Amino acid sequence: MTSEAKASPRQRLLEAAARVSHQYGVGVGVDTLCRAAGVSKRSMYQLFESKGDLLAASLERQADSYVAQLLPMVDDGRSPRERILHVFGRLEEEAGEPDFQGCRYLAAQIELKEQSHPASRMARRVKGNLTAFFRAEAEQGGASDSDLLARQLSLVFDGASARAGVGADRLTGLVTPTVTTLLDAAGMRRR
């Protein structure tokens, strides 16, 4: 028996939503999601109020692993500057993978347009948490305007992720120097 066969219908739907929506976009149909999960539409609607709720739950379920892959450990002994650069180093690594399609949270926000959509709200929260991380590190690192720097870093992160995700740019040798310039301009301490 495969692990997928052992998984509950809810788990299979969440896994299928993550896989299929990242590959084809959040506009993927309910039939496709249910077929990928091996679950009937009736069962899906018994478990989730709407496709939007399923997509939001799927994004939420992945948020912890996304953060764990991207952000450094709390109190890891590195300077705030090094902690910010760590995030962009991780982005460069991930963008170098052959199946990289960009940030799923940014993609969900772009595709959905409607800010009140449950998946859009979830994606906005995850992206907001990344900006909050940048802001906190910028404050600790002595940036002259930590809010502005955090927004600039988010802009670079999202732009780099999107360009790499569509194959328009390779990030190696591009992102780290860009971020370093921003950190220097903001007066971020090196240690």
**CA–CA gap between residue 137 and residue 88 (Å, rounded):** 14
pLDDT of the residue at 4: 46
Closest by CA to 165, choosing from 59, 61, 71, 91, is: 91
Q: For the whole model, what pTM was predicted?
A: 0.88
pLDDT of the residue at 23: 86
Q: Count CB neighbours of 169 within 10 A.
A: 15
What is the CA 185 to chain-centroid distance, rounded?
26
Extract the tokens encoding 66.
């996304």
Average pLDDT for runs of 10 along the chain of length 191: 68 94 88 94 94 94 91 92 97 93 92 89 95 97 97 98 93 95 94 75
- With b for 16 or more beta-carbon neighbours within 10 A and e for fewer, the 114-132 pattern comes to eeebbbbbbbbebbeebbe
Extract the tokens encoding 30.
């309910």
pLDDT of the residue at 182: 98
Domains in the chain (CATH in brackets) are: 1-48 (1.10.10), 51-185 (1.10.357.10)
pLDDT of the residue at 179: 98
pLDDT of the residue at 25: 86
Extract the tokens encoding 11.
């788990």
